Amino acid sequence: MKNKKWLGFIFLTIFALVLSGCNFNSPDTDKGSEKEKEGTKEGDTAATVEQVLKLSASAEIPTMDSTKAHDGVAFNVLNNTNEGLYRQDENNESILALAEKHDVSEDEVVHTFTLRDTKWSNGDPVTAADFEYAWKRVMREAGAYNYMLATAGIKNAEAIMNEEMDADELGIKATGDLTLEVTLESPNPLFVTLLAFPTFLPQNQEFVEGLGDQYALEAENVLANGPFKLVSWTHEQGWVLEKNEDYWDADNVKLDKVEVIVVKEPSTGANLYETGKIDRTLLTSALVQQYADNEDFQIEKESDIIFLRFNHNHPILGNPEIRRAINMAIDRDGLTDIILQDGSTPLYGLVAGGYYFSPDQKDYREINGDINKGSIEEAKTLWENTLAEIGEKEVTVSINIADSEAHKKVAEYLQAQLEDNLPGFKLEIKAVPFAQRLEIEKAITYDISLSSWGPDYSDPMTYLDMWVTGGSANRMDYDNPKLNNLVSQAYSETDLSKRFEMLLEIEKILLVEDAAIAPLYQTGSAILKRGNIKDLVKHPSGAEFSYKWAYIEE
Amino acid sequence: MHPSFCFMVRISPATVVFKDRGVNVKGYIFKRVGFMIVTLFVIVTATFFLMQLIPGTPFTNPEKLTEKQLVILNAKYGLDQPVAIQYLKYIGNLLQGDLGYSFQYEGRTVFSMIGDRIGPSAFIGLQALIFGSIIGLLLGIFSALKHNSVYDYLSVTIAVLGMSIPSFVFAALLQYYVGVKLEWLPVALWEGYSSTILPSFALSVTVIATVARFIRSEMLEVLGQDYVTTARAKGLSEWTVIVKHVTRNALIPVVTMLGPLAVSIMTGTLVIEKIFSVPGLGEQFTLSILVLDYSVIMGITLFYSGLFILVVFLVDILYGLLDPRIDYKGAEQS
């Protein structure tokens, strides 16, 4: 009988340990009381409607350290709680933000910025030294986006990245409390566009170093100098931003609060939307059918592109006319409207549509139009003729895809389309884990690879310069000296109209001349969004949203 | 202190129990603990080397990393060294209680990541386990006593359905009807006790089914034993026979099953945690494998297996306590 007593004791010990000894966090209960407090504070901006925006995020914030941040979730919070020299406006153009004035030397190499007199959320002034410190820190820490400084053409960035120089030799210098001098390698038309990217944000050296390895891991361990402040951050669950009254442009910030919760499952997001817990949610194709008639249903264009890489060393796929025939044989409308149904739109070009405009405000995609779009008959004729020239009757190739549900659906569709429309064509699907798909692509040991690309900055160049010979994103041994030349010319062309012409031409070389890849579709998102949310700006690259101008309509 | 180690420390009460049962038990426990450490070591080693075979890098933004950057990053994190050296370093750090830093969540220690997330998983798991065991036991016992009746078939059907319908179906149904339509309980999120109910309930379905099926077959077996017939022949009331002789003995094997079940259910499940937005460990583990977050994969594997080995050990000890037929002497000789 005495055994029994011990039995109970052991069980109790286990349970007690699970509950107490092992870090059980009691659910966040002060959230509710916080909400009530906010409710009473209302009234100064809106008479009837609470200026509170409730959003969801697909994942936890990996880090709030702008020098190490690498994903959309972190960029989003950084973009809205901090401010750099420039920020993206409603049209995704870079506009002066923390910098009041931007002077350029005659040779367009030395850029001098005059900062506004502003404060960090701990009361310290934001100085030019904060920029110098942060940018050098990006290089020193080899942050995930350190190549952005090289893309921006900042002096010595490339050499520092390759460890040929020290981070202190970066071409940035605080010449006064509020004057910052940035030196470029050579004139760079992209420089200003890139400055809106979160990697270029300032950091308060004393604060960062005071916290050491605890910096940016909790809400109280970060500083704000932007439109909002991060006031709470419950790991894996969500975070709350509140309006930063000390922000220089606070008068134009209408929201009082943005609450973000982590929701990883789209169907859960839809259910939370229905119960009013969130004001905007993303729908997967299964949910699209269910909500297509809902008055809050919307499709938003996105800027990622999905395309096929061809192995240019392949005896048959190496032929541009073969690639063109494949391009023409795929019905993209069927792919996006029947198979995917997730807001994606057909793409007949390299640069995504709807986001990139010429100096006279014409859409890049519309100017270059649909490339390699043809009827099935045309595709068939071209295919058969080219095949006859090569002297082949049948072609069997494999397609390298990541083993995600969406990619499998796309690959199966391609298989059906190509085998039906191109006589003698056989496509084998090889699904591998995402990381392996990338390895195979980098080693160029595939025939065809289903790839994706997301822009790093708001300029067509982010899609175009990946195809230069030997470029790390080329991954298909594509080699056209004409394209290489034009890309390097466009890098330094500061006449924006001439430059835009060059950008248009680069796409033509890649697709009209060489049919080097087969673009499939541009991503989009089907969403539910409350009708009274206005001016919530969505960007194609960097941070997804700017909350600065958003408001809730009464 | 790291969660898995805090269990280790509390082993001592169990040792005390066995003192009066003779040296054999003490020796047995001693030997078992030795084996546990060896097992854990083998698991750590195997995971470490297997993990290296997965292609890819643990670094973020792999799509845009250039070869040169990759070389520099590998050097920075010591991944350019031979795997054997990396392994020895890892073991060295491990012996000092250091599990390293996550690659994906820069600056976060693996320690704090497990610590932050095990709470919600364990809480939901425990609730599901307690609720599921009680319902499962009642269902199983009742079904065995009414063997081959309509009730029996009904409860067997429930158990089979519970086993075969994936838990995410229940989860989605519960979320939609109880959360969205009836608005009785929160749809998801982790905001106070009420939000733990639906996930616990969805999770308990498997427990109910497993326990019910198990106890039913055990009960049926015990009911056919000679000593039950003897008890009845002695003129004991049916109630006494069932409670004292049948149920008690039928419960013994359940202990073996419940231990490992508890570990697997309390360390988190991917699907339930995702659907109800529970900030738990199960989802983290899957994600870390997908993005190849080496240190997190190792940390969580170590934690899971440590817990599992420990529970199996405790169950074996308990088994001896509950069932006097089991002799540690024999176990030690074999």
Q: What is the pLDDT of residues A485-500, one digit of tens each?
A: 999 999 888 888 999 9
Grade residue A22 by pLDDT with cuts at 50, 70 and 90: very low
pLDDT of residue B262: 83
Assigned architecture for domain A4-260+530-552: 3-Layer(aba) Sandwich (3.40)
Domain limits of chain A? Answer: 4-260+530-552, 301-525
pLDDT tens per residue across span B198-211: 888 888 888 888 88
Instruction: Determine which of A10, A17, A430 to mutate to test the interface with B (most B C-beta atoms within 10 Å).
Output: A10
Q: Is the pLDDT of residue B323 over 60?
A: yes
Is A337 part of the contact surface with chain B (CB cutoff 8 Å)? Answer: no
pLDDT of residue B56: 78
Which contacts of A204-213 are long-range, i.e. CB under 8 A and separated by 24 or more positions?
Answer: A204/A120, A204/A122, A204/A124, A204/A126, A204/A130, A205/A129, A205/A130, A205/A133, A206/A124, A207/A120, A207/A122, A207/A124, A208/A133, A208/A137, A213/B107
pLDDT of residue B329: 52
Question: A270 CA to chain B: closest CA distance, Å?
Answer: 10
Specify whether the CB–CB gap between A50 and A202 falls below 8 A: no
The pTM is what? 0.81
Would you tell me the crossing angle of helices A2-16 and B294-322 to the nearest 10 degrees? 160
CB spacing of A7 vs B7 below 8 angstroms: no
- Of all residues in chain A, the percent with pLDDT exceeding 70 is 91
pLDDT of residue A430: 92
Q: What residues of chain B lie within 8 A of the CB of A31, using their CB?
A: 191
pLDDT of residue B327: 60
CB spacing of A6 vs B13 below 8 angstroms: yes
Q: Is the pLDDT of residue A173 over 80?
A: yes
pLDDT of residue A47: 53
Is A434 part of the contact surface with chain B (CB cutoff 8 Å)? Answer: yes
Of B10, B117, B183, the CB nearest to A236: B117
CB spacing of A70 vs B314 below 8 angstroms: no
If contacts are CB pairs under 8 Å, which of residues 284-303 in chain B contact chain A?
290, 292
Q: Does domain A301-525 have CATH number 3.10.105.10?
A: yes
Rounded Cα distance between A158 and A24, Å, is 47
Q: Is the pLDDT of residue A362 over 50?
A: yes
Is A9 part of the contact surface with chain B (CB cutoff 8 Å)? Answer: yes
pLDDT of residue B73: 80
Q: What residues of chain B lie within 8 A of the CB of A144, using their CB?
A: 59-61
Residues 6+ apart with CB under 8 A from A298: A526, A527, A528, A529
Rounded Cα distance between A330 and A379, Å, is 9
Nearest to A343 by CA among A419, A292, A268, A390: A292
Q: Please name the residue of chain B whose CA is at the shortest distance from the CA of residue A214.
A: B107
Q: Is the pLDDT of residue A274 over 50?
A: yes
Helix (H), strand (E) at residue A308: strand A297-310
pLDDT tens per residue across span A415-424: 999 999 999 9
**How long is chain A?**
554
Grade residue A311 by pLDDT with cuts at 50, 70 and 90: very high
Grade residue B331 by pLDDT with cuts at 50, 70 and 90: very low
Is B104 part of the contact surface with chain A (CB cutoff 8 Å)? Answer: yes
State both tokens at B214.
């198990």
Question: Judging by beta carbons within 10 Å of its beta carbon (0-12, 13-18, 19+), is residue A32 exposed, middle or buried?
Answer: exposed
If contacts are CB pairs under 8 Å, which of residues 277-316 in chain A contact chain B?
277
Instruction: Determine which of B190, B258, B283 to mutate to test the interface with A (most A C-beta atoms within 10 Å).
Output: B190
pLDDT tens per residue across span B28-60: 888 888 999 999 999 999 999 988 888 778 887
Helix (H), strand (E) at residue A230: strand A228-234
CB spacing of B69 vs A62 below 8 angstroms: no
pLDDT of residue A11: 52
CB spacing of B6 vs A17 below 8 angstroms: yes
> B3-332 sits in which CATH class?
mainly alpha
Residue type, B325: R
Q: Please name the residue of chain A whose CA is at the shortest distance from the CA of residue B119.
A: A24
State both tokens at B91.
């073991």
Q: What angle do CA A454, B68, A164 make, to 5 degrees?
A: 125
- Per-residue CA distances from A220 to A169, A224, A545, B102 (Å): 32, 10, 23, 21
Q: How far apart are the first and last CA of chain B?
A: 36
Rounded Cα distance between B97 and A366, Å, is 60
Q: What residues of chain A lie within 8 A of the CB of B52, using their CB?
A: none
In this prediction, residues A325-350 reach a mean pLDDT of 91
In this prediction, residues A60-89 reach a mean pLDDT of 90
- Identify which of B216-225, B238-247, B294-303 has the greatest average pLDDT: B294-303
Q: How far is CA A386 from the centre of its chain?
A: 39
CB spacing of B6 vs A163 below 8 angstroms: no
Is A18 part of the contact surface with chain B (CB cutoff 8 Å)? Answer: yes
State both tokens at A178.
């509020």
Q: Is the pLDDT of residue A194 over 60?
A: yes
Eight-class DSSP state of A342: S
If contacts are CB pairs under 8 Å, which of residues 515-554 in chain A contact chain B?
none
ipTM of model: 0.76
State both tokens at A524.
């989009």
pLDDT of residue A31: 39
If contacts are CB pairs under 8 Å, which of residues 44-63 in chain A contact chain B?
60, 62-63
In this prediction, residues A337-347 reach a mean pLDDT of 89
